[in-house]
């Protein structure tokens, strides 16, 4: 299965997106398709269809399409879209405002001018309204014609038809009747208001993409590459895998890579959210776009272009904003039937008032035009995607990468959270937890001798002891006569004295303290000088700092927390006890984890959190899979959410973000539906016999524009809410 993304031009409303989605889904070789009105993108999953096939389908519907480039230096702001509507709006306003002013002057016969002058004034209004109707309003005619060619209708149909009826009727009155009400300025004002709404909507929608814009702007433009013995400045896009790059203090790391010479402190806050710089030295991985704060170093490029961490994050956000939430299907269904239904209501309104209501032709036309205008489904179409865009963007700013609207929606329904142990609830890296001395030896002596013996070992437990000694700045001794005994430990000489470190039973030590440490899930190593035990060192994969707090908050939200691990029961129970987890599933093989998740799904929506390859099947099986950012690529690709900060509390924040976003979506859908349900009867004149209320097309146009802007603005309020 291949994923193809396309940028689409020419879309104006929700029904445009619906028409294109259906057309793409009917294209041979396409398994799944989604067209997002807010992002102007089509996301498809295909098996045999090609990019050219999809573009042909879209162009066949009268829209434009081109491949969506994933490069880092694209304009992701939607500025071109905003500029387009700004130009049309300025043109429309330049002619509409004089037309309205002249219309007010010639409002009443004999007030200021003679009949002849009034007639000239009407023709002047017609002259001013014409460029608004056919130049500023031309995009609506284009859209309506595209829809008509494929036997569909959209928002453009409503605007083009409504304003054209008003314009043509007015022209008829002026030419053939000589007197009577004319509505040139009404049509002009209507087009201007719709364009104003589109402009404000595009400005507001542009703000929903600020998370991507900020990330893109973080990317460095130039890199210093070592060619032979020379340093050459080249564009970052030209850096190749394997290139050696020089990075000086204050510069941004050009691409992802590994340090081969030098050391420094790197500000990784744009990826992790942590403000404290991270110490880096030879062999350390560095991430493109992070900032080198102190020393200079030489790095080898390992990931460039679209493979860098920053590019992947941007692409994940785009994927998230383009994927449709299940609740969006409701809006799509309503929108697909809405426009045809409105056309029918408009015709019935016209016929009803003209034939049965005893109204004038003018009254019937104005009522039908008001119905056409006020019923635009844009607000309904924008209700979900704008909230999804803001929600995923806000998540990205907090290091929570949500890959799709479906995941964002599902998160708020979670009843069970299942944590992997190693690298998820725990740090995934053994650390020295206890040093217990025996006899006259100090803790520093025990640690120094143990680290000296373990210095050359690659075993994780040995590396934990060495790392602890480095942190405490202990000077290690040179070891002679080194010997490793499989399953037991190691021994060697410092000077003429022989030391051993390893299994306490091999050393001949077995007491209550050792047993107590082992019962806590810790690995205990004893250090001996000859036959005399100097002390013991306990090493364990320690709990993440926020694991206990995260578990507590999840339980307070009414969510059951589980620990799922392949580790032994004793260690699993010890870690679970520390974290406050009561539901423990230990000694579970990788192929059994998926079955455990499937069993839990019978009891409610399941969220799985993991980091390793062995977690991938469980992450895929769960209703929502969350991968730790420090985990394997397989886990990150499988999970529908990625936690870049490796903070387990972000699981809680992701669920809270889902609840906040869903609340906004429901608010948007409610008000969009209420607006249309309440507005159409008023526009049709149903209240006129009882109250005298009749909605003018100009007011209807303003209300329609306001509804779209209000939906987007309500979604933008998400940005101000805090994820505590």
Report yes or no: 594 and 618 within 8 Å, Cβ to Cβ.
Answer: yes
Give the H or E element holding residue 286: strand 285-286
Residue 91 to residues 86, 94, 133, 138, 706: CA-CA distances in angstroms? Answer: 9, 5, 11, 12, 21
Tell which residue, 398, 386, 425, has the closest CA to residue 672.
Answer: 386
**Residue 107 contacts by C-beta under 8 Å, 6 or more apart in sequence?**
none
What are the CA-CA distances from residue 44 to residues 15, 64, 275 (Å)? 18, 16, 38
State yes or no: is 420 an active-site residue: yes
In three-state secondary structure terms, 442 is coil
Q: Which of 156, 267, 406, 420 is catalytic?
A: 420
CA gap 365, 181 in Å, rounded: 12
| CA 387/CA 321 separation, integer angstroms | 9
How many other C-beta atoms can be found within 10 angstroms of the C-beta atom of residue 3?
Answer: 10
CA distance 688 to 360: 14
- Scored b (16 or more CB within 10 A) or e, 24-38 reads beebeebeebbbbbb
3 neighbors 45 (Cβ within 8 angstroms): yes
Edge to edge, the sheet with strand 583-585 lists: 400-402, 641-643, 624-628, 606-610, 416-420, 560-564, 583-585
Q: Are strands 560-564 and 583-585 parallel, antiparallel or unpaired?
A: parallel
Cα–Cα distance between 532 and 521 in angstroms, integer? 26
Q: Catalytic residue numbers?
A: 420
């Amino acid at each position: 299965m291949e994923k193809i993304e396309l940028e689409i031009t020419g879309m104006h409303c929700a029904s445009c997106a619906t028409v294109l989605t259906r057309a793409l889904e009917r294209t041979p070789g396409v398994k799944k398709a989604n067209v997002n009105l807010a992002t102007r993108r089509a996301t498809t999953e295909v098996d045999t269809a090609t990019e050219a096939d999809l573009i042909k389908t879209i162009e066949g519907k009268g829209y434009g399409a081109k491949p969506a480039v994933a490069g880092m230096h694209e304009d992701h702001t939607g500025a071109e879209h905003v500029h387009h509507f700004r130009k049309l709006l300025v043109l429309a306003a330049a002619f509409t405002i004089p037309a309205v002013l002249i219309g007010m002057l010639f409002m009443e016969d004999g007030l200021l001018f003679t009949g002849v002058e009034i007639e000239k004034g009407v023709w002047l209004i017609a002259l001013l309204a014409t460029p608004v109707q056919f130049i500023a309003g031309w995009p609506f005619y284009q859209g309506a014609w595209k829809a008509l060619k494929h036997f569909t209708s959209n928002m453009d149909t409503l605007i083009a038809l409504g304003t054209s009826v008003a314009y043509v009727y007015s022209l008829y009155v002026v030419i053939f009747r000589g007197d009577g009400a004319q509505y040139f300025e009404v049509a002009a004002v209507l087009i201007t208001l719709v364009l104003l709404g589109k402009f404000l909507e595009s400005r507001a929608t542009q703000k929903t993409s600020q998370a991507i814009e900020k990330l893109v702007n973080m990317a460095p433009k130039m890199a210093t590459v070592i060619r032979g013995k020379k340093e050459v400045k080249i564009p970052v896009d030209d850096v190749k895998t394997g290139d050696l790059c020089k990075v000086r203090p204050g510069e941004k790391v050009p691409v992802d890579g590994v340090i081969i010479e030098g050391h420094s402190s790197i500000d990784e806050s744009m990826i992790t959210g942590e403000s404290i710089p991270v110490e880096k030295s030879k062999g350390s991985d560095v991430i493109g776009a992070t900032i080198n704060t102190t020393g200079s170093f030489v790095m080898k490029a390992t990931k460039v272009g679209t493979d860098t961490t920053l590019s992947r994050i941007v692409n994940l956000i785009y994927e998230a904003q383009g994927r449709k939430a299940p609740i969006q299907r409701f809006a799509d269904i309503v929108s697909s039937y809405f426009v045809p239904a409105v056309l029918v209501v408009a015709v019935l309104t016209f016929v009803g008032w003209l034939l049965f209501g005893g109204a004038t032709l003018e009254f019937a036309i104005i009522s039908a035009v008001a119905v056409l205008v006020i019923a635009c489904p844009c607000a309904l179409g924008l209700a979900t995607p704008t909230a999804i865009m803001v929600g995923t963007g806000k998540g990205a700013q907090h290091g929570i990468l949500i890959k799709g609207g479906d995941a964002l929606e599902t998160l708020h329904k979670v009843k069970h959270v299942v944590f992997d142990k190693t690298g998820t609830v725990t740090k995934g890296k053994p650390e020295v937890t206890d040093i217990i001395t025996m006899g006259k030896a100090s803790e520093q002596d025990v640690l120094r001798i143990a680290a000296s013996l373990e210095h050359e070992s690659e075993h994780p437990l040995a590396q934990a002891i060495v790392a602890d000694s480095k942190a405490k700045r202990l000077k290690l001794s040179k070891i002679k006569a080194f010997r490793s005994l499989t399953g037991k430990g190691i021994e060697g000489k410092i000077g003429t004295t022989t030391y051993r470190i390893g299994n306490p039973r091999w050393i001949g030590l077995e007491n209550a303290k050792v047993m107590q440490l082992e019962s806590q899930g810790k690995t205990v190593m004893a250090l001996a000088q000859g036959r005399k035990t100097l002390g013991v060192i306990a090493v364990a994969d320690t709990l993440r700092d926020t694991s206990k707090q995260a578990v507590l908050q999840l339980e307070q939200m009414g969510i059951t927390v589980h620990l799922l691990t392949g580790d032994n029961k004793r260690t699993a129970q010890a870690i679970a006890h520390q974290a406050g987890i009561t539901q423990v599933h230990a000694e579970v093989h990788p192929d059994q984890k998926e079955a455990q998740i499937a069993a839990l799904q019978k009891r409610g929506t399941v969220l799985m959190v993991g980091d390793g390859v062995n977690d991938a099947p469980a992450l895929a099986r769960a209703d929502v899979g969350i991968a730790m950012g420090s985990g394997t690529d397989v886990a990150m690709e499988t999970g529908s959410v990625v936690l870049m900060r490796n903070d387990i509390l972000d699981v809680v924040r992701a669920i809270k973000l889902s609840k906040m976003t869903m609340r906004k979506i429901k608010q948007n859908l409610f008000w969009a539906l209420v607006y249309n349900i309440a507005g159409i009867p008023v526009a049709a004149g149903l209240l006129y016999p009882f109250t005298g209320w009749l909605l003018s097309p100009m007011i209807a146009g303003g209300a329609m524009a306001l509804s779209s802007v209000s939906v987007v603005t309500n979604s933008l309020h998400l940005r101000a809410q805090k994820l505590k």
